[in-house]
Amino acid sequence: MISGLYIDIAETWIIYGIIAFVVWFLLYNYRNALYGALTLTIVFLLAQLWHEWNILQQKNMTVYALKTAQQLIWHRQERGWS
């Protein structure tokens, strides 16, 4: 099971492009299709690393509970809720 994988619409289209290039390569043995699949795979991995880096750089997270009118704030430096 993959935990914490974030995929948006653009990355979904990148995955479709990877699949299309691989199918194109397998059907027609066209070498440039394999290079296209490799390029899109690298772009996808870089996008995933960028998302992970943004999550790690997040300073705090606020969670609001409207029913109890309570606010919880996660502080990265203190590693706990307040």
Q: What ranges do the domains of the chain cover?
A: 9-81
pLDDT tens figures, 35-44: 999 999 999 9
pLDDT tens for 27-71 read: 999 999 999 999 999 999 999 999 888 877 776 666 666 666 665
3-state helix, strand, coil in the chain (%, to 5): 55, 15, 25
Which residues, 6+ apart, have CB-to-CB distance to 82 below 8 Å? 72, 73, 75
pTM to 2 decimals?
0.67
